[in-house]
A and B are shown apart, each in its own frame.
Chain A
Amino acid sequence: MELNELSIKLASFETEGANFESFLVANEGEQEVLQVIVDGNDELPIFVTQTEEQLLCISYLFNEAEVKTELRHELNEALLKLNVPIPLSAFAKIDDQYAIFGALAVSSSFDEVTHELVTLADNAIDALDAVTAYLNE
C-alpha cells in the first residue's frame, strides 16, 4: 500500500474507538513520510515510512536532554526490559530522541496497519506516563 493511499483510507476510517488524521510530510529526499495523528493527540504523532521490506511506524517520546542525568542508566535498563512485554511496539533511540516504534511487513492489510497505529498511539501515551518520573521537572 502506498502511503498516500493509506492517508486517504485513514481519513474516513474509525476503529477501536479511534480516528485518524494524516498528511505526508514535506520532504526533499526520496523517503516519503506520513504523519499520523490518532485521536487528536498531535503531541505524539506517528511517523510512517515504507521500505522495500517493512512499514515502520515511529513515535518520538522525549529528548535525551529531558532525562534526569542520574536516572539515565536506570531508564535505559527499564526500557530494555519493557521491550518484550509491551504489545507490538518496541523502544528505540533515534539520534538523541527516545522513540517507540512498530514494524510491519509491507504486505500487511489495512486493518493490521490501523491496529498497529492505534496500539502504538496507546503505548506511546502509556510509556510517557510511566517514565515521567525519570524526566526533568
Chain B
Amino acid sequence: MSILKKLFTAVRGGAREVGESIVDANGIRIFEQEIADAQNALHKAKKSLTEVMAKEMQTKRKISALDDSIAEHEEYAGQALAKGNEALAMEIAEKIGDFETEKSEHDQVLAGFSNHIVVLKQQVKDAEKSIKENQRQLTMVKTTESVQQATMAVNSTLNTNESSMTNARQSLERIKQRQQDRQDQLGAAKQLEASANGDDLKAKLAEAGIGEQNQKSNDILARIKAKQNG
C-alpha cells in the first residue's frame, strides 16, 4: 500500500493519537534499506552495462575485420581463377570458409551481448524508478513525522501562551487594529513633519492670502504701476 493511501486511511479514521506515528521507525528503515538496495543494484547494472557495451563494440570490430578479410580473399580467389589456378582458388575458398565460421561464432556472441544490454538497460531504469519512488514515499513519511513533532513543539508553546491563539476572531481584530494604528501613526507623523517644516502655516497663510510671496509681488506690481503712471 502506498504511503499516501496509508496516511489517508489514518487521517480518515481519525483514531490516531496525537504524536502517534503512522509509519513506525521500522517502516522508515525498510524504505531506507530498499533505497540502498536499489542504489546498489543500479551501481552494479551500470558497471555491467559499460563492460558489456565495451565487449559488444570489440565484437563488432572483430566482425567487421572478418568481413574485410572475406571480401579481400574473395578478390584473391577471383584473381586465382582468372589465372586458371583452380587449386589455389580452392585453398583460398577454404580460408574464406574458416573466416565465415569464425564470423558466425562472433555473430552469436554479439547477439548475446546485445540482448544482455537490453536487459541491463531495463535493470538500470527499474532501479532508478525504484529509488525515486521509495524516496518520494520516504519524504512523505518523514514530512508527516516532522510535522507531528513540530506540532507537538508548537502546541506546547501555544499552551503556555494561550491568550494569543484562543480565538481567531480576536486575533484578526487585534491585527486589524494594529494595522490601523500604524496607518494613523504614519498619518500623524506626516502631519508633524509638515508642521515642523512650516509647510502647515505657510499653506494656511497662502490660503488666507497673506503669504510673504504674495506681499512681495503686490509691492512689485504697485511699483510698476506707479512708474507707468509717473
Contact = CB atoms under 8 A, between A and B. Distances in A.
Mutual binders A and B: yes
Interface residues of B, number: 27
A59 B140 CA distance: 20
A66 interface: yes
B147 A94 contact: yes
Interface stretch (B71-79, B89-97, B151-159): B151-159
A25 B176 CA distance: 26
B56 to A, nearest CB: 39
Task: Give the size category of A's interface with B.
Answer: 35 or more
A128 B172 contact: yes
A63 B157 CA distance: 16
Nearest to A30: B149
Contact of B142 (A40, A52, A137): A52
A135 interface: yes
Interface in A48-85: 49, 51-54, 56, 58, 60-63, 66
Contacts, number: 84
A94 B152 CA distance: 11
Contacts of A27: 149, 153
B178 interface: yes
Contact of A125 (B149, B150, B167, B175): B175
B154 A25 contact: yes
A51 B143 contact: yes
B172 A129 contact: yes
B139 interface: yes
A63 B167 CA distance: 8
Interface string B109-151: 0000000000000000000000000000001001100110111
A31 B157 contact: no
B25 interface: no
A65 to B, nearest CB: 10
B12 interface: no
B5 interface: no
Contacts of A52: 139, 142
Contacts of A28: 153
Given A25-B153, A26-B157, A95-B18, A66 B168 contact: yes
Nearest to B153: A27
Interface string A4-46: 0000000000000000000001111111010100001111100
Contact of B168 (A25, A26, A53, A62): A62
Most buried by A among B18, B152, B153: B153
A43 B175 contact: yes
A95 B171 CA distance: 20
A35 B157 CA distance: 10
A61 B168 contact: yes
A49 B18 contact: no
A49 B168 contact: no
Nearest to B142: A51
Contacts of A125: 172, 175
Q: Which of B147, B167, B168, B170 has the most CB of A within 10 A?
A: B168
Interface of A: 25-31, 33, 35, 40-44, 47, 49, 51-54, 56, 58, 60-63, 66, 94-95, 125, 128-129, 132, 135, 137
13 contacts: A25-B153, A26-B156, A27-B149, A29-B152, A31-B146, A33-B150, A42-B164, A43-B164, A43-B172, A51-B139, A52-B142, A95-B18, A137-B169
Interface of B: 18, 139, 142-143, 146-147, 149-154, 156-158, 164-165, 167-172, 174-176, 178
